[in-house]
Each structure stands twice: as structure tokens, then as C-alpha cells.
Amino acid sequence: MNQSGKFVAHRPSGCSRPTPGALLDLRRPRDDELPECELLHLFISTRHPACIIRSVAYLEIRDLYKQFTKRAGGLFSSGTETIRAVDGVSLSIEKGEILGLVGESGCGKSTLSRTLMQLTPPTSGSVVLNGEDLSKLPHHEIRKRRLDFQMVFQDPYASLNPRMTVFSTLAEAVRQRHPKLAKQALVERVEALMATCGLDAGTMRKYPHEFSGGQRQRIAIARALAPEPKLVIADEPVSALDVSIQSQILNLLKKLQKDLGLTLIFISHDLGVVHYLADRIAVMYKGKIVESGSAEEVFHHPQNDYTKRLLAAIPKLAEAPAA
């Protein structure tokens, strides 16, 4: 039950598909063995009621609110209107997990990601990363932590500096983590990043406009990986790309997440795309998480009417005519 007394469909992560980093403890711990830390989640496995799965969340979003106030009515109106872009969101994400955040345009997905990265301050609530409450840290400490979480945006052309070559863009991002790296080591690091993201290192002196949309998104992903983050938030990273290129970028993200052990928050308005990539899905509607659970459960057995509508909106291939 949420704060406003409404029931929302939440399923504990790990019941049907243990998440990476979850500790399986076969004996029931005594109460005095339990850390007081709120990050400890206890739930009894539905398959093995005797087992208690203890998992420590990597990222814990607690009762997060972000409101915007805007002038209501005409130019000369003195009234204001409050927009509840993020309206009491609580979510936890395990290390190495892919969380898919899905919802229609304007439901608050980007505001949630910006708020949890502290790019915009929350109205209330907290964001706890690796046990540390980010909302309580001073600005210079947040800047340091931000190296650990990077973003990939929808429009790679807008997010890349058109006046910087790929090398300059990636070298600048590598230097954020390794400010004293020697030139040769820097070149090697940039080459390795480009190879990891499926780019030809021979093109490192080119500018963004000399690449295709898919290649630009690969550069944006390489830039996000350059400071060696632990958490990547990809905000609609394939929405601006052709369908054939979309799957290449999705597969790249999936491979990188697996190879590098990244924690990934993947944002999309397309439940089908999110289901393809994510371990767990959270469905957002009008600023609230209305349903969350394992990707299979949410996709195949949606509980919430809005999730059912999103599912129905996935384009289906026309049935082949009978031979």
C-alpha cells in the first residue's frame, strides 16, 4: 500500500529470479543479528519458504518527490500550478541488475532519473547509493560520486559537443577518473573504449556529424563508460534510432552490462523493448510506480490496468495469411 492508501502491485525482486549480489541465507537470522540499516530487505521465498533471501540494495530510492511550480492561466494570472513529476517513488536496485523503467511521455521518467542523480534536487525523499544518502552530501562530494553514475541520453547528437573530436570527447571523460594519465595510455584507453562499443578506433579524430545516428549513440555510450561508472542510466537511448539500429544498441548495452557488471537503469516508453533488456521492470504512471516486479512477471502477468494498456500498445506483426 502506498502513502495515499492505494494498493500498488509490487513484487519483491529475486523471488522468481535471484538478482546478482543477493545472499542466500538458509537459516533464519535472530533479530539481534539483523543490521539496523534499512537497506536490508527480508522476504520469504515463495518457492522455498524456509529460505530467507537477504539482499542489500545498491541503489535505494525512498519516497522521492519532485514537484515543479508553474504559472497557471494566462500571462497576467497570479495563480500557480503544481506539477507532481515524481510523486512518492520508492524503488531499490541490486548491483549488476538491469531495471527497466517504462511509462508514457510526461509520466516523470527523466525527472526521476535526473533527481536520483542529484542533477536536480528532490522536493523530498532520499536516494541512497551504496549505503550513502546522496541528498545529505555537500555539492562537491556529489560531484565526486557522480563519476560512479553516468547517463546516456535519447539524442546523441544533442548530447555530444559538435566541436570536439571523438578522441577529445572520450579523453576528457577518461581524465575525469584518471586526471594524470599519460598521453599514450590515454590514447590506448580511448582505443579500447571505442573497440568495446563497436567503433573503429581509426575514426577517433572525426567529429560527431561525420558519424551515423547509431555510431553517435555508440560514442555516447563509450563516453558514459569512460569514467568507469558502476551505474548507468540510459534515458530512451534507442528512441531516436531506426528499428534495425535499435536492436544493435540494445544488444551492445546488454553485452556491456554483462561484461562490465554494470548496474543499468534503462528508460523507455516501450514495454517490449524494456522486457527484452531488463531483469526487473517498474511501470511509472503520472509520477508514481504503479507496478514493479521481474520482467517476466510484469510482461506476461501484468496486474495493473495501465501496464495492461502498455502491453496492448506494443505493435504486433500482422498474422501471416493461411497458406
Ligand X SMILES: Nc1ncnc2c1ncn2[C@@H]1O[C@H](COP(=O)(O)OP(=O)(O)OP(=O)(O)O)[C@@H](O)[C@H]1O
Q: Which residues would be at the binding site for Mg ion (CB under 5 A)?
A: 110
Q: How far is the CB of 300 from Mg ion (least distance, A)?
A: 26
Residue 69 or 78: which CB sits closer to ligand X? 69
Residue 107 or 224: which CB sits closer to ligand X? 107
Q: How far is the CB of 153 from ligand X (least distance, A)?
A: 10
Return the C-alpha cell found at 151.
547517463
Residue 7 binds what, of Mg ion, ligand X, none (CB under 5 to 8 Å, by partner type)? none
Residue 89 or 128: which CB sits closer to ligand X? 89
Residue 110 or 304: which CB sits closer to Mg ion? 110
Q: Which residue is it, cell 571523438? A: 166
Residue 44's alpha-carbon distances to 154, 180, 183, in angstroms, are 39, 49, 53
What is the bridge-based pairing of β-strands 9-10 and 288-294? parallel
Residue 6 or 70: which CB sits closer to ligand X? 70
Cα–Cα nearest to 218, from 176, 145, 159: 159
Residue 273 has a CB neighbour count (10 Å cut-off) of: 21
Q: How far is the CB of 154 from ligand X (least distance, A)?
A: 7
Angle of helix 243-260 relative to helix 213-225, nearest 10 degrees? 20
Residue 208 binds what, of ligand X, Mg ion, none (CB under 5 to 8 Å, by partner type)? none
- The backbone torsions φ and ψ at residue 289, rounded to the nearest 5 degrees and listed phi first, read -85, 115
Q: How far is the CB of 148 from ligand X (least distance, A)?
A: 23
**Sheet-wide strand order for 52-56:** 23-25, 52-56, 40-44
Q: How far is the CB of 238 from ligand X (least distance, A)?
A: 13
Residue 15 or 83: which CB sits closer to ligand X? 83
Residue 151 or 295: which CB sits closer to Mg ion? 151
**What does the alpha-carbon distance between residue 117 and residue 127 come to, in Å, rounded to a whole number?**
8
* Alpha helices, DSSP H, located in the chain: 109-116, 139-145, 156-159, 166-177, 183-196, 213-225, 243-260, 271-277, 295-300, 305-312
Contact positions vs ligand X (CB under 6 A): 68, 70, 83, 85, 103, 105-111, 269
Q: How far is the CB of 36 from Mg ion (least distance, A)?
A: 37
Q: Which residue is it, cell 495469411? A: 321
**What does the alpha-carbon distance between residue 185 and residue 236 come to, in Å, rounded to a whole number?**
33
Q: How far is the CB of 153 from Mg ion (least distance, A)?
A: 9
Residue whose beta carbon is closest to Mg ion: 110
